[in-house]
Each structure stands twice: as structure tokens, then as C-alpha cells.
Amino acid sequence: MNAKLGNLAKSADRGSASIVAVGLVVGIITLLTIIAAVGNVLISKAQAHTAADIAALAGASVQMNASADACSLAAQIASDNQAQLDDCAVENDEVQVAVTVRTRVPLVSRVTVRSRAGPVPCAA
């Protein structure tokens, strides 16, 4: 009788390791997907910071020299850096821009960054 119970208990456990393995694989895939999504958002944010800073600096340089429209140049610079200029404001010689970069993450589809540039007043 004990032999039959032992065999019955062994057959009830048969395949349980497969369920655990599938669970571990699903967990690892989920974790890697989350890490990739966060990484993509961080890379997009860095790209947006770079595009915004360069666009603001270029716009301020043009504004100081009065050689062209600061916002047009800022839009072109942002576009060259795979970003979109959302907002541009010129006040005196200071240029403020807002730049958006699209991500590949459905829940966070875009990242927007603001930047400003202009001359620094000299202290007497």
C-alpha cells in the first residue's frame, strides 16, 4: 500500500518544475522589458537635453549678432538632433526653448525639456 502511495505522490509532482521554469522565464523577460523601457526613456531624455541646449545656444548666438531669426535657427538645430521645437521665446538677448523627443515606450511616448541661453551680465 505504501508503494502505491509513494508512486501516486511522485506522479502528482511530475511536471511541477516545468511550471516553475516557465514562471522564472516570464519574470526575467518582464524585468528585461522594464529595464529596456527605462533605458530608452533615459536615453531620449539625454537626447532632448542636448538638442534643447544646442538649440538655445544657437538661437542666443544669432540673437546677439542679429543676423537671423533665433527661433527659426533653434527649430532647425532641434530638427537636426531628431527633436521637435515646441516653444521658443526671445526676450532681449535671452532665448528660451522647449524641445520634445519621441521615445519607443508606449506609456511615455515623448520627453520634453526646456533650456535657455543668453549673455551673462558682467559683475562690477
DSSP output for 63-117 = HHHTSS-HHHHHHHHHHHTT-EEEEEEEETTEEEEEEEEE-S-SSS-EEEEEEEE
What is the predicted pLDDT for the residue at 50?
97
What is the predicted pLDDT for the residue at 119?
86
Amino acid at 67: S
| Mean pLDDT per 10-residue section of the chain, whose length is 124 residues | 58 78 96 96 97 96 87 96 96 93 94 93 70
Torsions phi, psi of 36, nearest 5?
A: -65, -40
What is the predicted pLDDT for the residue at 32?
97
What is the predicted pLDDT for the residue at 66?
81
Of 77, 90, 84, the closest CA to residue 112 belongs to 84
